[in-house]
Structure 1
Amino acid sequence: MATPGDELYRPFRPRFVRYVSTVSIVLAGAGLVTILVVAPGTGGQGYAPSSATGMVVVVLAGIVFLWRQGTVRADVDAETITVRNLLVVRSFAWEQVLAVSFGTGDPWVMLELADGNRHPVMGIQRADGARAVRDAQRLATLVALHGEADEHTM
C-alpha cells in the first residue's frame, strides 16, 4: 500500500510531450517505410542506395530526438533531485536548491540554485496545464522539506 510519502517522491514526467513524441515516432517510422517501400523513387526505378541511406539517417536522428524529448524527467529522493533534460542529466543535493520558479510564461520549471544559476526541469512542462502547476507545487514542497526553500517564488 502506498503511503503519502511515496506520492511526494513520485517522478516528475511530462504527459503531453510523451504522447506527442510517441505518436510522432510512430508516424516518422511509418512514413519512412512508406517512402522506401511503397513510393520507391521516380519512375518506379527505386532510390539510389545513397538516397535511401540518407533518408534513413535523417529519420532515425529525428526519432532519437523525439525519444529523448519524450523521456525527460526528474527523479527525487530524500537526498537529491536528478534532472534528465533533453541533452544533459544533472543531480543536485537538496541543499543546492534554493527555490522553484514557474512563472506564467515559463515553458518549464526552473530550479534556483545556491551558486546563482538556474536549471530547467523539463519534466514539469507548462503544456500539461493544471497538472504542471500541481507538480511544481509538489517540487516546491520537497525543496521546503529538504533544502533552503524560498517559498515566495511560486
Structure 2
Amino acid sequence: MSVPPAPAPGDALAPFRPRRGRLVAIGVVWASLLIFGTIAVIMPEQDGRWGPADRLMMFGLGAAIAALAWRYASIVAVPTRDGIVVRNLVVTRTLDWPEIVGVQFGGGEPWVSLDLLDGDTLAVMAIQKADGDVAGREASRLAALVQAFGESREEDSS
C-alpha cells in the first residue's frame, strides 16, 4: 500500500484526511477480520469447550476491532465556503467559519486543534503530526481557510 497523495495545491476546499494513520487503520480492519475469522474457523472443539457460540464470539471480537479501526480510517474534515464538518473518532461537529478564532498545531498535541469563539477547543484528527511535512502544509491550508472565510463572513454581516 502506498501513501495517498496530498490534495492538489490549488484545491483549497479539498477534504482533510490523515494519510499514514488511515493506511494503518485499514490494515487493522483487514488483519482483524482475517485473523479472528481464521481462529474462529480452525478453533478445535475440545470436550465441548469451544462450541458455535464461542466461534461466533471470536469472529464478533474481530468484527468489533475492525469496526473501530474503520471509524478511525473514516476520520475527515470537510471544508466548504460556509464552514467545516469535522468528523473525529467519536464526535462529528459542524462549524461556521466565524466560530473559529484560531488554529493550533504545536506543542505535544498529535493533531490540529481549533480555538472556538465560545472558548472551547476542537481537535481536528484529520491533520496529524504523524504525516510529517504534509501535516504542516495541511494545517497552514486550514488556517488560511479560517482567515479567508471567517473574515469575509464577518465583513458580509457588517
- State the TM-score, normalizing by the size of structure 1: 0.86
Matched, 1:113 2:113: no
Counterparts of 1:24-39 in structure 2, within 5 Å, are: 24-37=28-41, 39=42
Structure 1 residue 67: deviation in Å? 0.1
Distance 1:21 1:98, change over 3 A: same
Q: Deviations over 1:1-59 (max 9, x none)?
A: x893xx1111000001111011111111110222122x322559783122112212211
- Please provide the CA RMSD for this pair: 1.9
Task: Work out whether residues 125 and 132 of structure 1, in 8 Å CA contact, stay in contact via their aligned partners in 2.
Answer: yes
Paired with 1:12 and 1:3, the residues of 2 have a C-alpha distance of 13
Mind listing any 5+ residue stretches in structure 2 that lack a counterpart? 1-7, 152-158
Distance 1:61 1:101, change over 3 A: same
Paired with 1:143 and 1:92, the residues of 2 have a C-alpha distance of 11
1:151 paired residue number: none
Matched, 1:50 2:50: no
The amino acid that maps onto 2:23 is Y
Counterparts of 1:1-154 in structure 2, within 5 Å, are: 4=10, 7-37=11-41, 39-41=42-44, 47-147=50-150
Distance 1:3 1:57, change over 3 A: closer
Task: Work out whether residues 40 and 46 of structure 1, in 8 Å CA contact, stay in contact via their aligned partners in 2.
Answer: no
Partner SS, residue 8 of structure 1: coil
Partner SS, residue 118 of structure 2: coil
Identical residues among aligned pairs (%): 37
How many residues align? The count is 144
Distance 1:31 1:46, change over 3 A: farther
The amino acid that maps onto 2:74 is T
Paired with 2:93 and 2:99, the residues of 1 have a C-alpha distance of 12
Partner SS, residue 102 of structure 2: strand
The amino acid that maps onto 2:75 is V
Task: Work out whether residues 112 and 123 of structure 2, in 8 Å CA contact, stay in contact via their aligned partners in 1.
Answer: yes
Structure 1 residue 60: deviation in Å? 1.1
Q: Which moved more, 1:119-128 or 1:42-51?
A: 42-51
Task: Work out whether residues 33 and 59 of structure 2, in 8 Å CA contact, stay in contact via their aligned partners in 1.
Answer: no
Partner SS, residue 147 of structure 1: helix
Paired with 1:86 and 1:3, the residues of 2 have a C-alpha distance of 27
